Amino acid sequence: DPGSPVDPAEAEDFLRRCYVENPRLGPVEPRLAIVRAQIAATGTYVHTTDELTHGAKMAWRNASRCIGRLYWRSLMVLDRRRARTADEIYSLLVQHLQTAGGGQIRPVISVFAPAQPGRPHARVWNEQLIRYAGYRTEDGGAVGDPRQIDFTTAVRGFGWQGKEEAFDVLPLIIETPAEGVRVYELPERAIREVPLRHPEFGWFAELGLRWHAVPAIANMRLTIGGVHYPLAPFNGWYMGSEIGARNLADVDRYDLLPLMAARMGLDTSRESTLWRDRALVELNRAVLHSFERDGVKMSDHHTESQRFITHLRNEEKAGRAVPADWSWIVPPISGGITPVFHRYYDEFDQRPAFYLDAEAAELARGCPRRTR
Amino acid sequence: DPGSPVDPAEAEDFLRRCYVENPRLGPVEPRLAIVRAQIAATGTYVHTTDELTHGAKMAWRNASRCIGRLYWRSLMVLDRRRARTADEIYSLLVQHLQTAGGGQIRPVISVFAPAQPGRPHARVWNEQLIRYAGYRTEDGGAVGDPRQIDFTTAVRGFGWQGKEEAFDVLPLIIETPAEGVRVYELPERAIREVPLRHPEFGWFAELGLRWHAVPAIANMRLTIGGVHYPLAPFNGWYMGSEIGARNLADVDRYDLLPLMAARMGLDTSRESTLWRDRALVELNRAVLHSFERDGVKMSDHHTESQRFITHLRNEEKAGRAVPADWSWIVPPISGGITPVFHRYYDEFDQRPAFYLDAEAAELARGCPRRTR
Ligand code: HEM
Ligand code: HEM
């Protein structure tokens, strides 16, 4: 529970690991004495920048659903704990996206102020910093990303006007205890997008599809040594299948396979022609091709799977267990031919870690705030 | 443990369920009294044909890795408990394959004699009734199915001569307490095979690929109400991806994707061309197309996924929980676009059930028998 005082045992466990993994930080005992006293006096304690930095990396390393963990050491940690106002937070989020970059994308996390036991805290309602709005049409269909329809409705309730097009970047909803809810439009310089085309199908570009370069989850809570950071958006680069096999393909997202199949002239009269599978592969080729052509970093599911196997080997050598969730690690396309398919993993909760709180999930679905 | 006396509680639990699900069997109480007395006197009891039949169906219904459970009621149960000699067993296994059929395949199980506490029992070493031999070549490569190399070596140790071709059907190894190990060649009438061709690629047929029509697992133990049937081979029909995305595609099986890609003229210089995915889809199309053309029943992973969703709905209506293992249920190709991907399942052990014993697994790997 992010609202309760820090558990001294969790703090100690984290600090011991952190200092063992970073000998240059010196002995942990003196630091433990300070932290114990801080917790006893205030119910919490303040991480040093080194602790925060390594703690965030450990949280990534522990993310059991993440296939991209090989480069966990390279995470750039931006210490934003002093930001208070919505304006400050907003401009630091814009800076985050610019730091992550629009081409050679780097993994970045911005860590804002920790939760104080029993006090309200700042948050971003959006599930990711960049997502496309979704609109219900009169005939019951949808324009844009159906997953964002309810959130878009909520944003419109705050006065935002969408263009009602397929790829309208949603504004940020930033809520602070002092200022309530504020709506901020992201500037163009913070939003790199890639127009999608196909290496062979000329007609594909005419579909007018695009996707943003940076996946940045905005609403997960980062927990380090018993301290909770409710606002700690992070990004990596995309694995192509997240866009090509989920965002653009899922029946309850952009649902593009029937359109692809029609344009490709496939026989959709029965499933056994594998028209869905053929359309799916071509959609994914288009995504990878377009990012590659535009010089925007992206990995394919084969390469990222191989990297994850390397990561498992590295961690084993380091004597660390790797929590992993098979159903999230195995890619949604061609699972069986990736090396991550052919083994089991241990699933367990190991901190530091990222958690999606029920309330954050509800806000990202546009649900009105529960009264407390 | 198949070697210990029947647990009366497990017997009672099974019988109660069985009789509740089959009101025409009448009240369970008189039957329970008989079974309790049988167990007390002999350490085990004998299933009626109705109990055996329904118990086998329940075991299928409880197979958490099986996507094909919608038709569990249709299982044809052949009561073979009286067979003793290897010759008898052999001819009944041939009958099994003929009953399953070579075209309109039906799900069949042959249930042989139960294990008697503390006594050795008849078994088939093969993992499936029909599998292709595998041979290690001098250059360290392989001919045939690499998964069967060790088993093939063991079979050759009993004097069998393989043709050393890619699709040599292995003989059955039948072991009985009285006669020891015997090797039986399956007759042609028991082996329906489908030569593989592609709906568009003329060169594909020249690869000389084929696969057998009936997948029949031979070495899992069937447990019903505390009674263990160590020899109870069963078959369904194939879901195409078992052949096209695993048997023929896995790197440690026939490993055909590089060859496919070469023949298709794909750019294999980097993973992001998705040449593996393209080759995989075409291989799977060939499998489905060939079975369809030859009138041999097979389902594709989209249709079988939809059926499994229907099965979940049926079972929910019947008030029964469905154990399911996500990583086995979700197909190895195009997982994300099948409806079974987008939900979680409960995983638990519910009997009657099929189990693969460690010793059976070892024999199927060609390992010499452990001494007891
Ligand atoms: C560097 C490149 C990265 C790649 C290629 C990558 C890849 C992925 C993928 C494919 C998923 C599954 C997403 C889905 O199916 O919805 C995932 C989930 C996740 N990743 Fe990564 N990731 C990267 C960087 C990061 C970073 C920098 C962090 C945190 C510091 C992180 C933390 C997580 C977490 C917490 C999840 C689970 C999200 C959830 O529960 O919805 N990843 N990642
Ligand atoms: C009727 C058509 C059937 C279909 C389409 C089907 C499909 C499948 C598939 C795709 C698997 C996973 C195989 C793998 O990945 O290796 C599987 C596993 C399994 N099926 Fe079915 N099945 C069918 C019939 C049956 C029948 C009749 C039984 C038993 C009476 C059965 C019991 C099982 C069991 C026990 C497993 C797990 C095998 C293991 O652990 O290796 N299935 N099934």
pLDDT in tens, B121-154: 999 999 999 999 999 999 999 999 999 999 999 9
- pLDDT at position A367: 82
**Ligand (nearest to CA of B67):** 2
Instruction: Note if A242 is an active site residue.
Output: yes
**Ligand (nearest to CA of A221):** 1
- In this structure, the number of other CB atoms found within 10 A of the CB of residue A239 comes to 22
Query: Does the pLDDT at position A371 exceed 50?
Result: no
Query: Does the pLDDT at position A140 exceed 70?
Result: yes
- pLDDT at position B4: 84
Atom of ligand 2 nearest to the CA of B56: 30
- pLDDT at position A250: 98
Å from A284 to nearest chain B CA?
A: 8
- Of residues B17, B31, B66, B304, which has the active-site annotation? B66
- pLDDT at position A372: 39
Say yes or no for a CB contact (<8 Å) between A335 and B337. Answer: no
Which residue, judged by its Cα, is nearest atom 33 of ligand 1?
A66
Q: Is A331 in the pocket of ligand 1 (CB under 6 A)?
A: no
Q: Above pLDDT 90, what percent of chain A? A: 95
Mean pLDDT along residues A2-8 = 87
Of B271, B327, B333, nearest to A302 by CB-CB distance is B271
- Of residues B17, B61, B69, B131, which has the active-site annotation? B69
pLDDT per residue as tens digits for the range A266-322: 999 999 999 999 999 999 999 999 999 999 999 999 999 999 999 999 999 999 999
**Ligand (nearest to CA of B361):** 2
Residue in the structure block whose two tokens are 């466990």: A13
Å from A82 to nearest chain B CA?
A: 40
Residues of A with CB under 8 A from a CB of B: 240-241, 245-246, 249-250, 257, 271-274, 276-278, 280-281, 284-285, 288-289, 292, 300, 302-303, 326-327, 330-337, 341-342, 344
Q: Report how far Cα A175 is from the mean position of its chain's Cα atoms.
A: 19
- Of residues A106, A136, A160, A242, which has the active-site annotation? A242
Q: Which residues of B touch A273 (CB under 8 A)?
A: 285
Q: How confident is the model at residue A3 (pLDDT cuts 50, 70, 90)?
A: confident
Q: Is A60 in the pocket of ligand 1 (CB under 6 A)?
A: yes
Cα separation values, B281 from A26, A257, A276, A277, B342, Å: 55, 15, 10, 7, 22
Q: Which residues of B touch A330 (CB under 8 A)?
A: 327, 335
Using a 10 angstrom Cβ sphere, with 0-12 exposed, 13-18 middle and 19 or more buried, the burial of residue A208 is: exposed
- Dist. CA B148–CA B168, nearest whole Å: 11
Q: Is B109 in the pocket of ligand 2 (CB under 6 A)?
A: yes
Say yes or no for a CB contact (<8 Å) between B272 and A284. Answer: no
- In this structure, the number of other CB atoms found within 10 A of the CB of residue A81 comes to 16
Q: Report how far Cα A354 is from the mean position of its chain's Cα atoms.
A: 10
Query: Does the pLDDT at position A78 exceed 90?
Result: yes
Q: Which residues of B touch A345 (CB under 8 A)?
A: none
Which residue, judged by its Cα, is nearest atom 18 of ligand 1?
A66
- Dist. CA B44–CA B37, nearest whole Å: 10
- Dist. CA A253–CA A148, nearest whole Å: 9
Q: How confident is the model at residue A72 (pLDDT cuts 50, 70, 90)?
A: very high
Say yes or no for a CB contact (<8 Å) between B285 and A302. Answer: no
Residue in A with minimal Cα distance to B302: A271
Q: Above pLDDT 70, what percent of chain B? A: 99
- Read off the tokens for A310: 């390397």
Mean pLDDT along residues A249-275 = 98
3-state SS track over A257-313: HHHHHHHHCCCCCCHHHCHHHHHHHHHHHHHHHHHHHCCCCEECHHHHHHHHHHHHH
Helix, strand or coil for residue B154? helix
- DSSP labels for A345-360? -B----SSEEE--HHH
Q: Which residues of A touch B332 (CB under 8 A)?
A: 334-337, 341
What does R_g of chain A's alpha carbons equal in angstroms? 22
Q: Which residues pair with A211 in a beta bridge?
A: A194
How far apart are the CA of B68 and the centre of ligand 2, in A? 6
Q: How many CB pairs under 8 A join A and B?
A: 106
Helix, strand or coil for residue A371? coil
Among B207, B214, B192, smallest CA distance to B279 is for B207
Which residue, judged by its Cα, is nearest atom 17 of ligand 1?
A66
Q: Is B73 in the pocket of ligand 2 (CB under 6 A)?
A: no
- pLDDT at position B67: 98
How far apart are the CA of A65 and the centre of ligand 1, in A? 7
Q: Which residues pair with A182 in a beta bridge?
A: A174
- The dihedral built from the CA positions of residue B239, B244, B250 and B254, taken in this order, carries a sign that is positive
Q: Above pLDDT 70, what percent of chain A? A: 99
Q: How confident is the model at residue B36 (pLDDT cuts 50, 70, 90)?
A: very high
Looking at chain B, which runs of residues are DSSP E strands? 76-80, 108-112, 123-124, 134-136, 142-144, 172-176, 180-184, 193-195, 210-212, 216-217, 221-224, 227-229, 234-235, 238-239, 298-299, 353-355
Instruction: Note if A237 is an active site residue.
Output: yes
Q: Is A215 in the pocket of ligand 1 (CB under 6 A)?
A: no
> Is the distance from CB of A283 to CB of A256 less than 8 angstroms?
yes
> Is the distance from CB of B226 to CB of B10 less than 8 angstroms?
yes
- pLDDT at position B368: 64
Which residue, judged by its Cα, is nearest atom 4 of ligand 1?
A68
Q: Which residue has the higher pLDDT, B116 or B314?
A: B314
> Is the distance from CB of B72 to CB of B62 less than 8 angstroms?
no
How far apart are the CA of B186 and the centre of ligand 2, in A? 23
Q: Which of B201, B256, B281 to mutate to test the interface with A (most CBs of A within 10 A)?
A: B281
Å from A278 to nearest chain B CA?
A: 7
- pLDDT at position B371: 43
Residues of B with CB under 8 A from a CB of A: 240-241, 245-246, 249-250, 257, 271-274, 276-278, 280-281, 284-285, 288-289, 292, 300, 302-303, 326-327, 330-337, 341-342, 344
Q: Which residues lie below 8 Å from residue A267, measured CB to CB, with a gap of 6+? A: A273, A275
